[in-house]
Structure 1
Amino acid sequence: MERFEKDNIPPQIRGKKLDITKQRLFRDPLKLKATFTEARNRLLHINNWADLVAGASSTFYLLDKTGQEVSRIAKEGDYVKIDIPGPGPAHGNGFDWVTITKIDERLEELYVMLTLKPAPPPDKPDSGKVAHFFKANASTTLVVKVEDEKLTVIYAGRNEEINRENDRSLDNIRNMFVGLGAKLGLSHPQWEKLVLGILGSEN
């Protein structure tokens, strides 16, 4: 299965990277398969991500290609609107934005992944300017997979560079503080909690 990650996780070229991996062991193959299905559903129901993280500081909203909020599992081409505490970028109407650039789902092999990348907001798709504290080449990939008797959830952040290419200096300052916090590892606990939330409790 590692070959899937090689194909799906963007290469690290510059900036910061962050990897988080959590696993659970199952002796019962039926329980393992059922738990994979539950974890897959938690991964793809992005509107519920904040509920998986105790004390979550950000909220995620799934939108379709036209910019309408939707209540369903994620699809390639969807947008995700991220509400981070404090002022957001003016270009993003006060929110950070990413798009789902790829979903690779192989249910017969108990494998699913999605990749998110910074993007312009859906009402300004041709602006060429992302509304996010990282530059456009950054990515976040989340994987849920089964190998042997293990259920594994992976977070892979790649090419994380602070976005200082905004028209408003206030947005550049804001991105510097938010992005610097992420580069210093302050976002690690939140992503780790999300990975554990997707993995599910052992009860």
Structure 2
Amino acid sequence: MKQDDWHTIPIELRKRVPEQRIGRCTDTYSSIKIEECNTSDAVYASIKNRLLHVNNWTLYAHLTNTEFILLDKNGNSSDGWATEGFFIKIRFSKLQKILFAPYDFVHIAQLVNESKMVGDALVMQLRPAHNPKKKGNEIDHFFTSEASNTFILYRDATKIYLSIHGRNEQINLNVSHVAKKIRNITLATFGILGISNLQWKSLAEGLLNYK
């Protein structure tokens, strides 16, 4: 898929992506042809399960060596499937270790099966969040709480598609410590320069590479 293929995504799924109002937006598209699959139902189910098993994302986003750890609503590590209301802590391993920077946190704001409307489809939306193990609601992410990443997985008669849509991405400067502000500026700058795009593209391609 190319950048101009946004309008090929079913309208019911596009409506799940927040409106772009401020800051930066990104769109990452990947797909595989169903004719390459021996059993498309099994392949789609496998890819869907991969998407929901967040702790294994590290295996697929190999180009950026990013760590993904699923947490339950109380901030405890979870070996289960992604669930609406759960958290994910993320670290660009090499970059953040060099900067001695802590993890970033997002929560799973939406997790919706759209099978009644679009055939087989799943939408998962992530938004920057606080560290659920800490008191208070200060966002522990280099983007503000208005930012989002929306994953759209669906298939039609010829292909299985996975796209990731970033919206309203702004540097999070509303933090309590100057060091944290500098850290957010540094990480957001690297993200804006393309590392986050590379991360999501690597993850999407890895999830679709069912072989």
Task: Say yes or no: does 1:49 pair with 2:57.
Answer: yes
Q: Which structure carries more helix by proportion?
A: 2
* CA RMSD between the two structures: 1.8
Residues 1:137 and 2:137 aligned together: no
Which residue of 39, 43, 46 corresponds with 2:47? Answer: 39
- Residue 69, structure 1, aligned to residue 82, structure 2: no
Please give the per-residue CA displacement for 1:131-162, whole angstroms capped at 9, x wherever unaligned.
00000100011111102211000010111101
Deviations 1:53-98 (Å, cap 9, x if unpaired)?
Answer: 224332011011111111111000001011232333xxxxx22111
Asked if the contact 2:31–2:208 (Cα under 8 Å) also holds between the matched residues in 1, the reply is yes
Amino acid in the other structure paired with 1:37: A
Q: In the TM superposition, what is the alpha-carbon distance from 1:128 to its structure 2 partner?
A: 3.1
TM-score scaled by structure 2?
0.86
Equivalent residue runs for 1:143-182 within 5 Å: 143-182=152-191
Residues 61-100 of structure 1 aligned to structure 2 (within 5 Å):
61-84=69-92, 85-86=96-97, 87-88=100-101, 94-100=102-108
Name the counterpart of 2:126.
116
Q: Which runs of 5+ in 2 are unaligned?
A: 1-8
| Aligned residue identity for 1:49 | W
Amino acid paired to 1:11: E
Q: 1: CA distance between counterparts of 2:195 and 2:45?
A: 30
Query: Could you say if the C-alpha distance between residues 59 and 118 of structure 1 is closer, same or farther in structure 2, counting changes exceeding 3 Å?
Result: same
For 2:35 and 2:66, locate their aligned partners in 1 and report how far apart those are by CA, in whole Å: 35
Structure 1, unaligned stretches of length 5 or more? Answer: 89-93
Deviation (angstroms), 1:30: 6.7
Q: Which amino acid aligns with 1:149?
A: T
Q: Could you say what secondary structure the match of 1:185 adopts?
A: helix
Structure 1 pair 134–120 and aligned structure 2 pair: CA distance change class (3 A):
same
1:107: Cα distance to partner?
A: 4.8
Choose which of 20, 25, 47 in structure 1 pairs with 2:28.
Answer: 20
Instruction: Measure, in 2, the Cα distance between the counterparts of 1:28 and 1:121.
Output: 42
Name the stretch that deviates more: 165-174 or 102-111.
102-111
- What is the TM-score with the length of structure 1 in the denominator? 0.89
Between the aligned partners of 1:76 and 1:53, the Cα distance in structure 2 is: 22
